[in-house]
Structure 1
């Protein structure tokens, strides 16, 4: 079930901090300060709109190429220009991606991303990049998603967003209200106590490594649901799994398969929340993220598609 296959070498290589530009990220002769200054914002916008690290990086590459060609003297507000460019590139990518995802093998889950929230501003936005939120954003239309991200996450005004999208401000306000209401009505109710999350993660690790199905079941909510994304690339459950007994036995069975031999679980900050990495040797072959309600795991997302693990890997120099 868990494969040691690496993503295609042609896919964008991920850095340990995807929000920070490294010397080897983009081929350039003289990178302008505005792109460097706003890169975190640009990546955050693209990632929250698309749910994939590789697509977000591709969008930034395309945005950089457009930025290189533009007449800088004609750009009065570089930040707005760059956000508008990334937003519209992401909208185009998301519109075509939605059609592709309709034929996706099994559940489609966002790409997990190793993060290290330290700054207060990052902590405040943690929920907006959680797996649960990214899954919820998939239920919005592309335009609703763009407006929600720009307004609710990054605080752009309705007037600014209207300019980015070439839409009347009144229309943007209406869409923003609809998107916010949609998200609020479906927003998951979860426990935010970090100490409790650490404790249940520790117990989960002990039960999984010990093969203790009863101990694992005790950690699962009565209505627990597990989604597994293998994308047809590796063996994975193609339908959601329900109930403590089914989920616990499937998880332990997956870890016991021959393809998972030598795999171990390690705690890590994934999408700004404590989760688990599936590690095979030095390769990170999967990610388990989860939502805790009333002290038990209620929703579990298990990402093992080797083409969607870019955000878990370190540069070769750091492996």
Structure 2
């Protein structure tokens, strides 16, 4: 009886398969002829018009360059070549987008950073040492706080590097995702300076290749990765300055200091100490706070000059 039941189950499954296959093969020609699926995309006859076509070669066209014959121009879907005008009103570039956001929501929290309170090292399942961090509460910086740091960092970079006309090599960001990463990127956008990004997980050889390909003059990195950059910097002759992010919570009140309640991770402290010891004499090493201080002083000096340049009206007594 049990064997007979198994036979019935097998027969039932085969019958179901037969019905499904029959339905698929009988309906597929009709589906092919009368439906317009995403497999068959239109090739436009003009920048604003497009017709459905079932030509095998043309159906592969999904996007075209905005400027005909210029593959370096932005690419858009063929149905909307002229559909995009401006992502945000009055914003022509990334700097405008950032400043618009700051203007609309200056007091809203923008970037959160957690202090490293303790660092523990535990053996992993494969025998390698694993780092376990105990983190504190989030310390938030508003959009206005962030804008102040971006402005000062941009002024500090300009004071160090000069204008883009002198040399336009990109600034390279080699760091984990963190608030300072965005501050550095926005500062470079403010100066119209190209930005190249490298993954924090790259090997030494890949890192050397990335630095040499971009011919970066300035490298932003974290204190954790600083010693790794110093180790290979001799193989990257274009690098002149390294600016590293400190591992701490920013103190808004003092502005130029890092909150001393944030205890840096032990590996970060060791990385900075090693970098300071092995840094080549021709390489400039800066803490990001140092660059921001420089920029703040430049902005303050410019404001003082503007005040002195104001003319005072004279009153003549008749």
Q: Which bin holds the TM-score, normalised by the shorter protein?
A: under 0.3
- Scaled by the length of structure 2, the TM-score of the pair is 0.21
More helix by share: 1
More strand by share: 2
- Between the two structures, name the one with larger relative contact order (CA 8 Å, sep ≥ 6): 1
